[in-house]
Structure 1
């Protein structure tokens, strides 16, 4: 058994440099379109090179979430293909070393990449997404959109307040613009296209409204109308992909928000923990297939299909969460769990 640690070290020395090569290759392939788009901006809009570089650098963490696990597959396939070609696997088997002993070094590498992917997703990417969006608006010579809340609803006594959009005033935290307004009281309903919310005075003001009483026809009143409304005006939060882990946990626990926003926050929170484990699954699956399938072409084709299937499931989950067809936790963990189960099943055959 003294040869097993040396074998593990040999496999690691073979795979790690190839991982760096695969990482750079996938990075180049993934950012070719991005670089051409940035070059177009620089030519058309006279975008300063430093601003273009700022946008590119801050866009990278989003791409790295996919590249870091995928490069593991590249490294394992190339390394095991070279070892099979040189008959090293036959020599290892002749020495009495079990094939399963060649997988645990890949598992260690997969766990290291899992940690890197987790740090990227939870520490680096959220702030980078904020800076990337800021650079994008400056490249377009436009101003960022004012944060807003969609589908606000609040009941207070016998009154019901609804606004399609609540747009917070960035300069005055206690004021907001309202659009698509409905105020319902006993026996009468008021609707308006626009209005305002003054949380300091605890009022809603409709700029001009339609009044509909029970059994009557709608009547338009051009004058403003004020309603008392005591809810607290909460500034709209950033999108889930721009939130750090602590902020995301708070948003995922806020049941007062719209159910679709709540689902999106919970799904993003669970995915921050689940997605990094794809690196471990890819490492074990690629290694097991490389050892089980003597034909390198078949091994390569099998792993490509495995990656494709994983990413199809991964991209389908947000749509199912959005319509409430699957729980947020199940949707977030399903791709990585299926991949890990497949990898463990293939590894079991190497006993």
Structure 2
């Protein structure tokens, strides 16, 4: 490795580590604010919440790696442009492509790291965090269940909780296509939700067929799955592929699963697109004696995060083709970077 390569790796690598620490903390803060803060307000155990946040760090690390790469490249190359280092490279016969090559190698390291963590540590940690929340629901349901919570029980039935307060659990609905169980009072007992009397309504098409009363009913919760954050990120590529195949054979929609499958590759691969974009932009601005500045760095980094979030939502909803939703944001930066490199060379 040449002195130039070592210099670029050292400067960009240090900025990647610093940016990654900030971005991971931002993701963890988002999990806390959106999901876990309401649980703390309702009396959840802070130690359980802290453990869950720790389990989400690997997933935040995978998501944060490409964003940290973009931030670091823009920051370092912008500084090098301001301090005339890039001009010195050009004066010494070092082309933009010569600067690009070692940075692409660094992007390859981040890509491989992201894929490996995303396929090994992150899914297991996310699953452990979800399991932790499920156990917390069993142990302290009134604190962790909010009115309107929806679950899936061991039989695949939809379980709706209408009330969860100091008075107990109530307004429970157990729903399938053929019947609904209605109970105004319920409690957790031995891994099961016990319905304290209610009604069973069966349907023929859209019309009620029979109505019967019952004194006691049980809903098995051994496989209870609460919709915790990071649902599909807890699956590996093989698990996502298997689920997509099953849904396709059953005629069920699989937009969310296919989007998540493509994103498993597209998110780490975005590091390559960011490298091309950052190098192209830095040398392009050099021609007009302009510099990006910290505000520009933050804006361009946030723009990727915004398109990344919108693409995910639209892909999961089926509003965008999953392939475009996953690969679109990174491709946009790669194309822009290639154009800037071409203009800069001229």
Residue by residue over 1:51-101, the C-alpha shift from the partner in whole angstroms, topping out at 9 and shown as x without a partner, is 444212111123223321122133223322443343322222222222221
Over alpha carbons, which structure has the higher Rg? 1
Alignment partner of 1:17 is 2:14: yes
Q: Map 1:81-230; keep pairs closer than 5 Å.
A: 81-139=78-136, 141-142=139-140, 147-148=152-153, 165=158, 179-182=175-178, 192-194=179-181, 207-209=200-202, 220=210, 222=212
Asked whether the equivalents of residues 178 and 194 of structure 1 are also in contact (C-alpha less than 8 Å), the reply is yes
- Cα 1:128–1:282 change in 2 (3 A) is same
- Cα 1:303–1:285 change in 2 (3 A) is farther
Q: Could you state the TM-score of these two structures normalised by the residue count of structure 2? A: 0.68
Q: 1:326 aligns with which of 320, 324, 336?
A: 320
Q: 1:285 aligns with which of 277, 294, 312?
A: 277
| Structure 1 match to 2:243 | 251
| Structure 1 match to 2:219 | none
Task: Give how far 1:253 is off.
Answer: 0.9
Q: Could you state the TM-score of these two structures normalised by the residue count of structure 1? A: 0.68
Task: Give how far 1:102 is off.
Answer: 1.1
Asked whether the equivalents of residues 211 and 219 of structure 1 are also in contact (C-alpha less than 8 Å), the reply is yes
- Cα 1:9–1:124 change in 2 (3 A) is same
Alignment partner of 1:60 is 2:57: yes
- Cα 1:263–1:25 change in 2 (3 A) is closer
- Structure 1 distance, partners of 2:251, 2:117, is 28
Alignment partner of 1:275 is 2:276: no
Asked whether the equivalents of residues 113 and 280 of structure 1 are also in contact (C-alpha less than 8 Å), the reply is no
- Cα 1:240–1:280 change in 2 (3 A) is same
- Structure 2 distance, partners of 1:166, 1:137, is 14
- Structure 1 distance, partners of 2:317, 2:25, is 35
Asked whether the equivalents of residues 271 and 333 of structure 1 are also in contact (C-alpha less than 8 Å), the reply is yes
Structure 2 segments unaligned to the other structure (5+ residues): 145-149, 161-172, 183-198, 215-222
Residue by residue over 1:146-169, the C-alpha shift from the partner in whole angstroms, topping out at 9 and shown as x without a partner, is 64599x9xxxxxxxxxxx8499xx
| Structure 1 match to 2:307 | 313
Alignment partner of 1:75 is 2:68: no
CA RMSD of aligned residues (A): 4.1
- Cα 1:147–1:222 change in 2 (3 A) is closer
Asked whether the equivalents of residues 130 and 242 of structure 1 are also in contact (C-alpha less than 8 Å), the reply is yes
Aligned length: 293
- Structure 2 distance, partners of 1:53, 1:30, is 14
Alignment partner of 1:339 is 2:336: no
- Structure 1 distance, partners of 2:76, 2:62, is 23
Secondary structure, aligned partner of 1:326: coil
Secondary structure, aligned partner of 2:177: strand
- Structure 1 distance, partners of 2:73, 2:213, is 72
- Structure 2 distance, partners of 1:46, 1:317, is 33
Structure 1 segments unaligned to the other structure (5+ residues): 153-163, 168-176, 183-191, 196-205, 225-234
Asked whether the equivalents of residues 81 and 296 of structure 1 are also in contact (C-alpha less than 8 Å), the reply is no
- Structure 1 distance, partners of 2:203, 2:244, is 37
Asked whether the equivalents of residues 66 and 271 of structure 2 are also in contact (C-alpha less than 8 Å), the reply is yes
